[in-house]
Amino acid sequence: MAELTFVRPEFRVRIDRETCIKCGRCVHQCGWSVYHLDEEGRPIPDHAKCAACHRCVTFCPTDSITIEKNPLAYKDSDSMSPAHRKAIWRQAETGGVLLTGMGNDRPYLRIFDHLLLDACQVTNPSIDPLREPMELRTFLGRKPDFVQVAMGDNGSGPRLLTELDPQLKLETPIMFGGMSFGSVSLNVHRALAMAAKESGTYMNTGEGGLHADLEPYQDHIIVQCASGRFGVHADYLQAGAAVEIKIGQGAKPGIGGHLPGEKIDEQVSTTRMIPQGTDALSPAPHHDIYSIEDLRQLIYAIKEATGYKPVSVKIAAVHNVAAIASGVVRAGADIVYLDGFRGGTGAAPTVIRDHVGIPIEIAIAVVDQRLRDEGIRNRASIVAAGGIRSSADVAKAIALGADACGIGTPVLVAMGCHVCQKCHTGCCSWGITTQRPELTRRLDPEWGAERVSNLVRAWSHEVAEILGALGVNAIESLRGSRERLRALGLDESTMRILGVKPAGVGH
Amino acid sequence: MTDHFRRDADSAARGLNRIGEADRRSAVRRYGGLPAPGSRVPDMGPRPEYSAEAEERILGGCGLMGVCDESGGRMSGELAVRSMASMHDRGNGLGGGFAGYGIYPDFPHAFCFHMLYTDDASKDDTEYYLARHFVVLHHEPIPTRPVRGIQDEPILWRYFLEITDQRLAETQLSAEDYVVHAVMDINAHINGAFVASSGRNMGAFKGVGFPEEIGQFYRLDEYQGWTWTGHGRFPTNTPGWWGGAHPFCLLDYSIVHNGEISSYGINQRYLEGFGYNCTLRTDTEVVTYLFDLMLRRHGLPVEIACKALASPFWKDIDLMPDDQRKLYSALRMVYGPALLNGPFAVVLGMGEGMVALNDRIKLRPLVAARNGSTVYVASEESAIREICAKPERSWMPRAGEPVVARLAEGVNPAASRSGEAFEVAASPAAVA
């Protein structure tokens, strides 16, 4: 008998039969196989398969398709919501862990939306970014406590006596978060590499190794070393501008990366150095890091292997993040990459994605303050990621204390992602989180690079506008300047932790 | 100074150095005294709300001036008062002040604390504190004369202080750091007491009133100094606290400031990491502390410190020759949190001379002039010509280009920076 399921379709695909010209494009475009043509050539949808990714809607030449929420009513219960009921039914059917993609979609408090920025009026002038220089250049890496300078004698200028550690130079305080080749397509990686070069920033390989095609862009690539060590070898470590040790990820703290075998084709297999078609399951911890001193050994092993390039350590924002970050900095990391609980993922257990970790806003605030309290804030840069949605979020994150922001989901959205949260299925109609060749070829890397570069340029202009309104002309004057933030509708303890005063209180 | 000011000095000094008044001891114990050796952030207990002037930070515009005779020739304070009087309209009578250098030739090596007290209790507490931590060579009221327009003046007292070698050995601090700790202690923890200045052979004279009234009040015509700075204030609210007037001082550094530091939030947090408590509700305070940090503790040449505080733009740094690009890039990377952003003109008075500096896009006025060995700076050229009608040269300093007046060798023997080795001794590379 056909499988009985209580889980009714989430969406309904409505086709205007009067305007449909039966071209069949929807059938071809859908990565989820929603459509088939009946004997008269009319597209017939299978509502249950629809992810609301809008690929068919976008490409229908007569605008005949729309997607609606299934209006099916459920008996009201604030406690046992329809979502809870559906999850239980699914698990009763399968006995499995529910999987999902993208970031936490639960309606937790969005702190960024409760923070407001300052502006100048009368007593100090605002600065016009269209007429005056506005500087966003950011250097990530360890800085000394102070520098020593020798004043030149007999005509020679002053000289720097202090040797600085190598730094990553960003023309704007925005970089791309780690997304592995395998979870995303090679064309996505190509687009990100080109966009990073164009924007003067960095892409991050994620844990899937570095495809040979990307070598020309290696000055703008951070290579990641995660617990699975996929694609990690000496040349790989040396290929990047910096190396990132991924301890955790905001979407799934405490869990390793999961890449289903369906997404492991020949190219992914070669790059990752694993057999085709096998699941790539990264262990939850690094099997050579069971404590902070082990991390220190790995950091310095990587530094030795790379001629002392900057080493970033990516950790998920969890309850004890301040103390952990302090340990990471003391272990020798040049960059601490904090990933908040709204960060995206290619695949994660829904229960972990939705219930583990803390907001990035809180993590930035407590880590920045802890490092300052310990007098080691200058020893490492803080990159904040996992929940950055706009240039306003970037500015607020920097005001809270981040040096730069990492963005993953926004760059995918720029390239067509509609946040349908089905990355783990490998059926992405937009050719982003899939390895099916008929789908991946839909994303032209140059087109994608242009879209992403545009996004970075637009956000950078907007951050510059914010700086101008604040009356400062360099990003370092906003960094950690919580005095320029006010909270609206946050409780006392959250404001204390953020180090932000309520709106209405002056300087 | 005249004998009049020295009345009963000896007997009072003896009293100050007596320890053991039980009723005062508990108060001092609460402040914790000077911090334990080696602690990076002073362990001084919870910081009280400091709202003597206002709940909020004060904004405002101002007029300022500075004059320094590099040869060490002494000028009457009347000169600075006259110059400021010509800029009367740049202030609104809610704050005026001056700093003079070389004015205490009788005590050239003693740290001179100019104190403002709201009441006798704060004076008693402070004097107990000073007696416990210093040798009081001499103390006296700061001489004043009645001036119409000046009212509600606090108790004004000055102390010439030394620190015993034994005390320095016990605390493992340089004399300068010892003084900084004491200033922070008093300002943060003794209610009603405020250290207006704490340098050697210098002092700050400030209060609520127009600068010319303040100058009259403090009898500045009776002092002779090789450097003078002055300030008239235009705060945008109506406070009445004398400590809020400029200059803001720490050790030999004094700052008069016109403008607002829009980067105050991060400057303050950066300074807290080095143990400075910013409690005075004014952004000028951070300028003073940043100069103390960079010049004295980090040992940077003053021209370089200015290039970090009002740094060149990247577009210009990118065009510099290699070694210069490396230097200026490093300054921005390391001292980014110290960058003073927003509109300002400041005049820094210090033991070695005087420095004037504009913000990086010159959003506040500053004019400079030189006549012989004397360097003049002011918000308006008229204020310079008021006291030097025909300078050999006058010019508009460019944005971020410091005007430096340096006293000739030997003019001020107290100006050698003995605190320098304190921080620099630790190699920056040794932080791994």
B430 in reach of chain A (CB within 8 A): no
For chain B (length 432 residues), average pLDDT per consecutive 10?
39 34 28 38 37 48 92 96 93 89 95 95 92 94 93 93 92 88 86 93 94 96 97 70 89 92 93 82 87 93 96 96 96 97 95 96 95 97 96 96 94 64 35 34
Q: Judge: B41–A375 Cβ closer than 8 Å, yes or no.
A: yes
DSSP line for A369-413: HHHHHTT-GGGSEEEEESS--SHHHHHHHHHHT-SEEEESHHHHH
Domain boundaries, chain B: 3-35+63-424
Give contacts of A162 with chain B, Cβ < 8 Å: 330, 428
Inter-chain residue contact B272 with A379, CB threshold 8 Å: no
Determine whether the interchain pair B337/A372 forms a contact, defined as Cβ–Cβ distance below 8 Å.
Answer: no
Task: Note whether A151 contacts B260, CB cutoff 8 Å.
Answer: no
Mean of pLDDT values over A246-260: 93
From CA B339, how far away is CA B414, in angstroms rounded? 29
Domains of chain A (ranges; CATH) run: 11-96 (3.30.70.20), 178-458 (3.20.20.70)
Q: For position B274, what pLDDT does the model report?
A: 86
Taking the C-alpha atoms of residue B157 and residue B231, their distance in angstroms, rounded to an integer, is 21
pLDDT at B152: 86
B363 vs A contacts (CB less than 8 Å): 125
User: Is A154 a residue whose pLDDT tops 80?
Assistant: no
On the CB side of B118, CA atoms within 13 Å amount to: 12
Structure confidence at residue B171 (pLDDT)? 83
Closest listed residue to residue B308, CA positions, set A146, A154, A136, A135: A146
Q: A124, B304: Cβ pair inside 8 Å? A: no
Please name the residue of chain A whose CA is at the shortest distance from the CA of residue B259: A124
Q: pLDDT per residue over A274-292, tens digit each?
A: 999 999 999 999 999 999 9
- Higher pLDDT among residues A25 and B281, named by residue: A25
Tell me if A145 and B429 make a contact (CB, 8 A cut-off): no
- Check whether A211 has a pLDDT greater than 80: yes
Q: Which residue of A has its CA nearest to B344?
A: A124
Contact between chains at A144 and B268 (C-beta distance less than 8 A): no
Closest CA of chain A from B60, distance in Å: 6
Contact A144 B429 (CB under 8 A): yes
Among residues A253, A171, A238, which one has the least CA distance to residue A461? A171
- Tell me the pLDDT tens digit for each residue of A330-366: 999 999 999 999 999 999 999 999 999 999 999 999 9
Contact B263 A151 (CB under 8 A): no
Token pair for B208: 């609520």
What ipTM is given for this predicted complex? Answer: 0.91
What is the arithmetic mean of pLDDT over A149-174?
90
What does the alpha-carbon distance between residue B312 and residue B361 come to, in Å, rounded to a whole number? 10
Q: CB–CB of A160 and B342 under 8 A? A: no
Q: Which of B298, B339, B423 sits opposite A477 (nearest CB)?
A: B339
Dihedral of alpha carbons A357, A358, A363, A367, sign = negative
pLDDT of residue B277: 79
User: What is the distance, to the nearest Å, from the Cα of residue B359 to the centroid of all Cα atoms in its chain?
Assistant: 19
Interface test with B, best of A122, A131, A160, A168 (most B CBs within 10 A): A160
Half-sphere exposure of A467 (CA within 13 A, CB side): 28
Which of A120, A146, A507 has the CB atom closest to B428's CB atom?
A146
Interface test with B, best of A149, A371, A473 (most B CBs within 10 A): A149
Given A133, A145, A378, which is nearest B313 (Cβ)? A133
Say if the Cβ atoms of B431 and A379 lie within 8 Å.
Answer: yes
Of residues B184 and A384, more confidently modeled: A384
Orientation of helix A445-470 relative to helix A391-400, angle to 10°: 50
Chain B CB contacts of A470 under 8 Å are 262
Residues in chain B closer than 8 A to A135 (CB atoms): 313-314
Catalytic residues of B: 62
Among the listed residues B398, B365, B389, the one whose alpha carbon sits nearest the alpha carbon of residue B379: B365
Is-contact A345 A412, C-beta < 8 A? Answer: no
Domain B3-35+63-424, CATH class in plain words: alpha beta
Residue B61, pLDDT score: 64
| Cα B164 to chain centroid, rounded | 24
Separation in Å, CA of A322 to nearest CA in chain B: 17
Q: What is the pLDDT of residue B44?
A: 39
Cβ within 8 Å of residue A324, ≥6 positions away = A315, A318
Chain B partners within 8 Å of A481 (Cβ): 263-266, 269
Our CA-based measurement puts residue A123 at a distance from the nearest CA of chain B, in whole angstroms, of 6
Mean pLDDT value across residues A246-267 = 92
B365-404 in b/e form (b: 16+ CB < 10 A) is bbbbbbbeebbbbbbbbebbbbbbeebeebeebebbbbbb
pLDDT tens-digit readout, A259-268:
988 899 999 9
Interface of B with A in 305-344 (CB under 8 A): 311, 313-315, 323-324, 326-327, 330-337, 339, 341-343
Chain B: residue nearest A140 by CA?
Answer: B333
Identity of the residue in B268, B315, B327 whose CB atom sits nearest the CB atom of A160: B327
Q: Locate the DSSP E strands across A291-400.
A: 311-316, 335-339, 348-349, 381-385
Number of Cβ pairs < 8 A linking chain A and chain B: 149
* pLDDT per position as a tens digit, A59-81: 999 999 999 999 999 999 999 99
Query: Which residue of B236, B300, B426 is in closest CB contact with A123?
Result: B236
Residue A438, C-beta contacts closer than 8 angstroms, at least 6 positions apart: none
Strands A258-259 and B60-69, sheet pairing: unpaired
Predicted local confidence at residue A484, as pLDDT: 96
Percent of chain A with pLDDT over 90: 95
Structure tokens at B280: 């005075």
Distance from CA of A378 to the nearest CA of B (A): 8
Find chain A residues with C-beta within 8 A of B315's C-beta: 133
In this predicted structure, the answer to whether residue A124 has a pLDDT above a threshold of 90 is no
Would you call the peptide bond into B247 cis, given omega within 30 degrees of 0 as the criterion? yes
Check CB contact under 8 Å for A332 and B432. yes
CA-CA distance, B44 to B22, in Å (whole number)? 21
For residues A310-323, average pLDDT: 98
User: Which 258-277 residues of chain B touch chain A by CB within 8 A?
Assistant: 259-260, 262-266, 268-270, 272-273
Q: What angle do CA B137, B141, B145 make, to 5 degrees?
A: 145
CB contact under 8 A, A148 and B333: no
Provide the sign of the torsion angle of the four alpha carbons B375, B381, B383, B384, taken in this order: positive
With CA atoms as reference, report the closest residue to B373 among B99, B73, B80: B73
